[in-house]
Amino acid sequence: MGAKVITVTSGKGGVGKTTATANLGVSLARLGKKVVLIDADVGLRNLDIVMGLENRIVYDLVDVVEGRCQLRQAMIKHKQFPDLFLIPAAQTRDKTAISPADMIQITDKLRPEFDYILIDSPAGIERGFRNAVAPADEVLIVTNPEVSAVRDADRIIGLLEANNKGPAKLIINRVNPDMVRRGEMMSADDVTDILAIKLIGIVPEDEHVIPASNSGIPVTLNENSRAGAAFRNIARRLTGENVPFLPMNDSVGFFQRLARLFTGQGE
Amino acid sequence: MSGFFDWMRGRSPAKNSGTVAKERLQLILVHDRINLPPERMEEMKAEILAVISKYVAVDRDNVDIALQQRNRDSLIVAEIPFSQSHDSDEARRRLAKAADEAADEADDS
């Protein structure tokens, strides 16, 4: 049956689905896997930008569905990783241009040739979400440690369970360890506790992320980035490896805090 | 100022916003998950109490009816203590009333 189809979704917008999809795709490719990314956010495509492939789009997902090109022609090969491809979303159409059955058909064609097919879902719980989830073997839910994002994640988890797509796995993105330590942000444990699903990754807030998307080079290619390291770890967990979670500097002592105060250094 | 001492000890103030967030979420989700808004929940509680009070005297000050979560399952947990009064007349009156009502219902059908 070949590739495993993994859909990245969230309910709420702006929590980091596209960033997660891009970085997991690159991280899996770095592990030597054959990977294809599909941007299912028809009408609001962004995965091409985060991947730095926006200037190479000729055909898109809707062109494939409507028979204007072969599947191969819509697959953009990554500059650095020859086994990493992107199928971009159409920008001038809407979610109804594609059906859940179309997504299943496309992924079925891709399965024999790849190890992983990652689908970047749009926000929301409507047609675009249903398209993205239809072919999934596994679903990753991205959330932030904030009340509204966690509430929406819970709704998605319920919908997936009702459609026998569960149990999903959780990525908690943009955790600020300093704020967690001060009690001003829910910890990864708090969020996992509330949502009661399996945690697959904790990604710290990291100033490297925006420059990376500015230049279209996923942050996981930056060896100094803690977020990048977190995404590499999630990719290894997806392949079945048992990788311990990164320490979040939960217990910083008084003198370390004092030293940090004087030197003005972060972690 | 107390914040400074908390900082010195590496401790967080008594109730910080992270805890508030978690508590708010737990309450929101318990209602989201069973699709029962808080107002309807209050109606249901009143009705449950009314039914039980028909048969026994209830200590209304110490009633606790709440939704709970076990993993992703929701359940309603009710603690409804009977009132401590040993007013046997009151109990007899209740029983008689319940018996009358039952008889009326039987007549109706």
Which domains can be identified in chain A, with CATH numbers? 4-263 (3.40.50.300)
Residue with tokens 């506790």: A193
Q: Which of the four pLDDT bands, split at 50, 70 and 90, describes residue B14?
A: low
Inter-chain residue contact B32 with A253, CB threshold 8 Å? no
Distance, CA of B3 to CA of B13 (rounded, Å): 6
Interface of A with B (CB under 8 A): 145-147, 150-151, 154-155, 157-158, 161, 179-187, 190, 193-194, 196-197, 252-254, 257
Q: Is A215 left (phi over 0), alpha (psi -120 to 50) or beta?
A: alpha
Is residue B17 in a domain?
A: yes
Burial class (CB in 10 A: 0-12, 13-18, 19+), B17: middle
* A186 closest CB neighbour out of B18, B71, B72: B18
List the domain range (segments joined by +) for residue B24.
1-35
- Does a cis peptide bond (omega within 30 degrees of 0) precede residue A204? no
Q: Which of the four pLDDT bands, split at 50, 70 and 90, describes residue A214?
A: very high
In this prediction, the answer to ipTM > 0.95 reads no
Burial class (CB in 10 A: 0-12, 13-18, 19+), A254: exposed
β-strand pairing of A84-87 with A76-77: antiparallel
Arithmetic mean of pLDDT, A119-129: 96
Q: Which of the four pLDDT bands, split at 50, 70 and 90, describes residue A261?
A: low
Is residue B56 in a domain?
A: no
CA nearest A145: which of B74, B27, B19? Answer: B19
Nearest CA in chain B to A191: B22
Q: Which residues of B touch A197 (CB under 8 A)?
A: 72
Burial class (CB in 10 A: 0-12, 13-18, 19+), B32: middle
pLDDT at B86: 55
* A154 closest CB neighbour out of B7, B13, B29: B29
Is residue B96 in a domain?
A: no
Sequence length of chain B is 109
| Phi, psi dihedral angles at A76 (to 5 degrees) | -95, 125
Is residue B67 in a domain?
A: no
Q: How far is CA A181 from the centre of its chain?
A: 26
pTM (two decimals): 0.81
| Phi, psi dihedral angles at A2 (to 5 degrees) | 70, -125
pLDDT of residue A264 exceeding 70 = no
pLDDT at B9: 60
Number of domains in chain B: 1
Is residue B103 in a domain?
A: no
| Percent of the residues in chain A that have a pLDDT greater than 70, as a whole number | 92
Q: Which of the four pLDDT bands, split at 50, 70 and 90, describes residue B91?
A: low
Is residue B91 in a domain?
A: no
| Percent of the residues in chain B that have a pLDDT greater than 70, as a whole number | 78
The lowest-confidence range among A60-64, A141-145, B1-5 is B1-5
Inter-chain residue contact A183 with B19, CB threshold 8 Å? yes
Partners of A37 in the β-ladder: A86, A118
Distance, CA of A98 to CA of A90 (rounded, Å): 10
| Phi, psi dihedral angles at A114 (to 5 degrees) | -125, 165
pLDDT at A266: 42
Distance, CA of A71 to CA of A255 (rounded, Å): 59
Shortest Cα distance, chain A CAs vs residue B6, angstroms: 9
pLDDT at B72: 81
CA distances (Å), origin A14, targets A18, A145, A167: 9, 13, 23
CB A40 within 8 A of CB A114: no
User: What is the average pLDDT value for chain A, to the nearest integer?
Assistant: 93
Which residues, in sequence order, are CB contacts of A52 under 8 Å at separation 6+? A79, A215, A216, A217
